[in-house]
Amino acid sequence: MTHAERRQWDVVVIGAGGAGLRAAIEAREQGLRTAVICKSLFGKAHTVMAEGGIAASMGNVNEGDNWQVHFRDTMRGGKFLNQWRMAELHAREAPDRVWELETWGALFDRTKDGRISQRNFGGHEYPRLAHVGDRTGLELIRTLQQKVVSLQQEDFRETGDYEARIKVFQECTVTRIVKDGERVAGVFCYERESGRFFVVEAPSVVLATGGIGKSFQVTSNSWEYTGDGHALALLAGASLINMEFVQFHPTGMVWPPSVKGILVTESVRGDGGVLRNSEGRRFMFDYVPDVFKEKYAETEEEADGWYEDPDRHRRPPELLPRDEVARAINAEVKAGRGSPHGGVFLDVSTRMSAETIKRRLPSMHHQFRELADVDITAEPMEVGPTCHYVMGGVDVDSDTAAAQGVPGLFAAGEVAGGMHGSNRLGGNSLSDLLVFGRRAGLHAAEYARACGDDRPVVRDAEVDAAAAEALRPFGTGAEQAPQTAGGAGSAGPPENPYQLHQELQQSMNDLVGIIRREEEMAAALERLATLRERAQRMAVEGHRQFNPGWHLALDLRNMLLVSECVARAALNRTESRGGHTRDDFPDMDREWRRANLVCTLADAAEDVRSGRIALRRREMPPIRSDLLELFEKEELIKYLTDEELTTK
Ligand code: FAD
């Protein structure tokens, strides 16, 4: 029997980014004992890296804004594939979540008359992003952490124990959700530093693990984003939707190679930055698609006028949704009009004074000076697309964030699917985290409370199986753990996990990247089959105490699963929409708008090369009629089928 310490909590939240912390605060405020587990240091999550801001229709800078306009923009951005109920809840509740942050101590930048300032971003009709310079995520996480600490202080006053009702386990990684029959019963984890195993038993588990960007070679994501939550959900019997939709942010750094992929915030364009090719042309005017033509400027003069007088000018095309801008940059580079290092130029130096740039974009100024020796107040930046965000994720109930089909499992934030449809608008992630993080925490607490004394049980056999799986990369020597079928047995030389990571990232980047073709995606699936086979022979040396090779080996299982989901779904969807662009099917197809592709774990196959993912097509629920009324018929015709329009 494995030695793994057991701890009992009511709700366990995996992840301490914005979604996880907001969920944990809510569950604790409901009076439930809540544990938070995070892979890295507390406070180090994607959320802390967020730069531009939180989208919420507070109408502080333009009174025309309201939740209906935000809903419309979100649906347009997602090309109407969004789970409309999530988009509705998000647009309605985002302003309250931002106000709430202020009551907890957040300090946003202000307008001249002292209100929370809001900035422009791609795809948002009005200035809508509440921000703190270009370090908004830092303020968000700082505020949520401060709230956790204040709750702990309350608990101390009452019980004498700071961690009586909310406790953070940092630098701990969950490798399995443990179940009791159909129900969730807890999680199995290891401590990074000691390698020790432990189990947290809880009837409710909230997944808030963020994205999958590390499956691609060029990415703005950091080392933790190996799709763990997506994989944990699949392995627990949940399904993932929309995995073909991966957002390539148009502006990542392209030079020097060591920093390729690091994000250049969209605020640079929101505040007036323009994109130019090697001929000096503002090329985005050539790439406004028909569905957006009425809303975007046709001349530079009109576009520039919009910054001062948005009511009488149309928006600059640099502020099209991200998928459009990323494709345009890709096309310019391919046509030979790129910058020296394979990107295009993004210029603020000729658009704002040096002082304004340093005040509004302090992190960008610092980032380029330190990493690329470029002074953005005097010269343009070189930028190109970088894998940034996954729209696909756990198939959840829109209102409760409960994962469909797995009682006790909830998901919020980037790990949840549906909210953003085929493409997320900038700023809509931070608001998503707060809106659905709160809902997940609330409903996870209600579910745990309703379990009463009928708590699920974590059985020794489940713990042994999870431990055996985690120890497999050590071979037979590391601990007396049972070797399971398909273990380190297949013929061939031992494999290095670092090498397998590299090859997987390169394959996904080259074959399932920003522009996709059938042959390439089929080749990607072949490569993934080979990598799965080689992963069986992965061998790591040393001990469980802080062993990065072992950690990489454990992450690889998750990366292989999510990469297969992305490649299979992308191959299946024979159209282009949002974050999924097919060279061989360049148009959007109204029939496909009604379909979600759903990934589940396939029954175990004899042959390790056979895929692990089963894919099925599912019809989307029709959009509620009062929400459809918010759009002009001429616009709906571009997205909805004739049948849907007649039943509207
Ligand atoms: P994260 O903040 O990614 O947190 C995930 C947590 O899960 C971490 O604590 C991690 O350690 C933990 N975890 C993962 N796997 C495990 C495991 N197996 N076991 C235990 N813990 C685990 N969005 C906006 O709306 N506005 C912006 O301005 C913006 N700017 C961005 C800038 C950058 C550079 C990046 C990368 C993203 C930006 N985004 C922005 C997107 C947004 O930041 C993310 O989508 C969002 O923060 C995700 O939050 P989350 O709570 O879902 O997950």
* Separation of alpha carbons 384 and 251, rounded Å: 5
Task: Indicate if the pLDDT at residue 489 is higher than 70.
Answer: no
The predicted-structure confidence for 271-286, as pLDDT tens digits, reads as follows 899 999 999 999 999 9
Q: Would you say the CB of residue 224 lies under 6 angstroms from ligand 1?
A: yes
Q: Mean pLDDT for the chain?
A: 94
DSSP secondary structure letter of residue 114: S
CB 234 within 8 A of CB 601: yes
Task: Give the three-state DSSP class for 249.
Answer: strand
DSSP secondary structure letter of residue 482: P
Q: Would you say the CB of residue 136 lies under 6 angstroms from ligand 1?
A: yes
Amino acid at 86: M
Instruction: Work out the pLDDT band at 643, boundaries 50, 70, 90.
Output: confident
Residue at 585 is within a domain: yes
CB 259 within 8 A of CB 252: no
Task: Indicate if the pLDDT at residue 477 is higher than 80.
Answer: no
* Separation of alpha carbons 238 and 228, rounded Å: 13
Strands 197-201 and 183-191 come out as antiparallel
Looking at ligand 1, which atom is closest to the CA of residue 415? 52
Looking at ligand 1, which atom is closest to the CA of residue 388? 36
Q: Would you say the CB of residue 235 lies under 6 angstroms from ligand 1?
A: no
Residue at 126 is within a domain: no
Q: What is the pLDDT of residue 486?
A: 40
Q: Where does 236-321 have alpha helices with state H?
A: 267-270, 300-308
Q: What is the pLDDT of residue 484?
A: 40
What is the number of helices (H) and of strands (E) in the chain?
20, 20
Mean pLDDT, to the nearest integer, of 238-265?
Answer: 94
Mean pLDDT, to the nearest integer, of 479-498?
Answer: 62
Known catalytic residues are 322
Q: What is the pLDDT of residue 485?
A: 39
Output the CA–CA distances (angstroms, integers) from residue 458 to 181, 184, 233, 429, 633, in the order listed.
Answer: 10, 9, 17, 34, 54
* Separation of alpha carbons 266 and 275, rounded Å: 12
The predicted-structure confidence for 336-348, as pLDDT tens digits, reads as follows 999 999 999 999 9
Q: What is the pLDDT of residue 63?
A: 94
* Separation of alpha carbons 419 and 396, rounded Å: 10
Final residue of a structural domain among 322, 350, 385: 385
Rounded distance from Cα 479 to ligand 1 centre (Å): 34
CB 57 within 8 A of CB 65: yes
Residue at 57 is within a domain: no
Percent helix, percent strand, percent coil in the chain, to nearest 5: 40, 15, 40
The residues with which 122 forms a beta bridge, in sequence order, are none
Q: Would you say the CB of residue 274 lies under 6 angstroms from ligand 1?
A: no
Q: Would you say the CB of residue 19 lies under 6 angstroms from ligand 1?
A: yes
Q: Considering the chain, what percentage of its residues have pLDDT values greater than 90?
A: 87
Task: Indicate if the pLDDT at residue 474 is higher than 70.
Answer: yes
With vertex at residue 174, the alpha carbon angle to CA 171 and CA 179, rounded to the nearest 5 degrees, is 155
* 236 closest CA partner among 405, 67, 449: 405
* Separation of alpha carbons 451 and 183, rounded Å: 11
Q: What is the pLDDT of residue 481?
A: 37
The predicted-structure confidence for 186-237, as pLDDT tens digits, reads as follows 999 999 999 999 999 999 999 999 999 999 999 999 999 999 999 999 999 9
* 144 closest CA partner among 430, 521, 395: 430
How many other β-carbons are positioned within 10 Å of the β-carbon of residue 115?
14
Residue at 308 is within a domain: yes
Q: Would you say the CB of residue 124 lies under 6 angstroms from ligand 1?
A: no
Residues with Cβ < 8 Å from 302, sequence gap 6 or more? 313, 314
Residue at 438 is within a domain: no
* Separation of alpha carbons 70 and 94, rounded Å: 10
Query: What is the C-alpha radius of gyration for the chain, rounded to an integer number of angstroms?
Result: 24
Q: Where does 292-378 have alpha helices with state H?
A: 300-308, 322-334, 354-360, 362-372
Instruction: Work out the pLDDT band at 267, boundaries 50, 70, 90.
Output: confident
Instruction: Supply the range of the domain harboring residue 537.
Output: 496-619
Nearest protein Cα to ligand 1, atom 53: 210
The predicted-structure confidence for 41-74, as pLDDT tens digits, reads as follows 998 899 999 988 999 999 999 999 999 999 999 9
Q: What is the pLDDT of residue 205?
A: 98
Instruction: Work out the pLDDT band at 490, boundaries 50, 70, 90.
Output: low
Final residue of a structural domain among 350, 367, 385: 385
* Separation of alpha carbons 304 and 289, rounded Å: 20
Rounded distance from Cα 390 to ligand 1 centre (Å): 11
* Separation of alpha carbons 251 and 518, rounded Å: 26
Q: What is the pLDDT of residue 122?
A: 87
Q: Would you say the CB of residue 40 lies under 6 angstroms from ligand 1?
A: yes
Ranges of beta strands (E only) in 442-578 are none
Residue at 508 is within a domain: yes
* Separation of alpha carbons 640 and 617, rounded Å: 18
Number of domains in the chain: 2
Q: What is the pLDDT of residue 396?
A: 98
* Separation of alpha carbons 147 and 152, rounded Å: 9
CB 421 within 8 A of CB 242: yes
Final residue of a structural domain among 385, 402, 421: 385
Output the CA–CA distances (angstroms, integers) from residue 606 to 34, 490, 495, in the order listed.
Answer: 40, 12, 21
Task: Indicate if the pLDDT at residue 560 is higher than 50.
Answer: yes
Q: What is the pLDDT of residue 647?
A: 67
How many other β-carbons are positioned within 10 Å of the β-carbon of residue 194?
13
Residue at 605 is within a domain: yes
The predicted-structure confidence for 571-604, as pLDDT tens digits, reads as follows 999 999 999 999 999 999 999 999 999 999 998 8
Q: What is the pLDDT of residue 475?
A: 82
ipTM for the whole complex: 0.99
Show the 3-state SS of 366-404: HHHHHHHCCCCCCCCEEEEEEEEEECCEECECCCCCEEC
* Separation of alpha carbons 569 and 420, rounded Å: 17
* Residue in the block written with tokens 């940034």: 388
* 84 closest CA partner among 464, 420, 550: 420
Strands 5-8 and 34-38 come out as unpaired
* Separation of alpha carbons 578 and 244, rounded Å: 10
CB 270 within 8 A of CB 120: yes
- State the CATH number of the domain containing residue 511: 1.20.58.100
* Residue in the block written with tokens 């300032």: 117
Rounded distance from Cα 49 to ligand 1 centre (Å): 8
Pocket test for ligand 1, best of 25, 40, 44, 47 (most atoms within 8 A of CB): 47
Nearest protein Cα to ligand 1, atom 4: 17
Residue at 214 is within a domain: no
Task: Give the three-state DSSP class for 572.
Answer: helix
* 445 closest CA partner among 202, 208, 210, 238: 202
Q: What are phi and psi of 233, to 5 degrees?
A: -65, -45
- State the CATH number of the domain containing residue 327: 3.90.700.10
Output the CA–CA distances (angstroms, integers) from residue 58 to 133, 184, 376, in the order listed.
Answer: 18, 38, 31
